Chains A and B, each alone.
Chain A
Amino acid sequence: DGGITQSPKYLFRKEGQNVTLSCEQNLNHDAMYWYRQDPGQGLRLIYYSQIVNDFQKGDIAEGYSVSREKKESFPLTVTSAQKNPTAFYLCASSSTAGETQYFGPGTRLLVL
């Protein structure tokens, strides 16, 4: 089955802790994206990557970091500098010539 997987489904972060959210796709897509969604709100772009070993900041990159060492994987780290990390995090991917983006199931991050 082709698709995008995100893990874990729920993640708890303690004060001052860095946590990493996993995103994997087997669609052979070149581009991958991370979004943050707050309750009752739309999607805000955190980071995106069009190719391996390259990525760009989105609208709300502060307090987050990413890597793109493999085409299939685009992990997101929520650092301790992100003071309000509680949100629903969505990963998406698209092919270079593709028309649109396809989303994973999401990870809900909660602060203890």
Chain B
Amino acid sequence: QKEVEQDPGPLSVPEGAIVSLNCTYSNSAFQYFMWYRQYSRKGPELLMYTYSSGNKEDGRFTAQVDKSSKYISLFIRDSQPSDSATYLCAMRPMNNNAGNMLTFGGGTRLMVKP
């Protein structure tokens, strides 16, 4: 079993829909949680970064962490065709003796249709 699980999709939604992307994990030591967006043939770009449990909002994006369930989510409101990309979750523990090593999910491909 992988340490971080993420449904590969593709997830296809109509423009304007609310999108929910999710990751589950098994390592209770994970404290920092990130979401990256990766357009086709491009490098991942950091979208959201959260520490421990709770919500964080940035424009149309909301990141949610539920440590008790080992479950993180990224919500996209009023989705746009430009949101079509692969979304990668990543996480790491508080003390990372091997540097800022991240554990990644496999990514979910999102398609927003006009």
User: Which residues in A have some Cβ–Cβ distance to B below 8 Å?
Assistant: 4, 6, 31, 40-43, 45, 48, 50, 56, 88, 90, 94, 96, 98-106, 108
Contacts and interface: CB of A to CB of B under 8 A. Distances in A.
Interface stretch (B43-51, B59-67, B73-81): B43-51
Contacts of B104: 42-43
Nearest to A93: B100
10 contacts: A6-B43, A42-B6, A45-B101, A48-B99, A56-B98, A90-B43, A90-B44, A100-B49, A100-B90, A101-B100
Contacts of B49: 99-100
B86 to A, nearest CB: 9
A48 B101 contact: yes
Contact of B42 (A4, A48, A105): A105
B102 A100 contact: yes
Interface of B: 6, 8, 32, 34, 36, 41-46, 49, 51, 88, 90, 92, 98-102, 104-107, 109
A42 B107 contact: yes
Contacts, number: 59
Contacts of A98: 100
Contact of A100 (B34, B43, B105): B34
Given A31-B100, A100-B34, A42 B105 contact: yes
A54 to B, nearest CB: 11
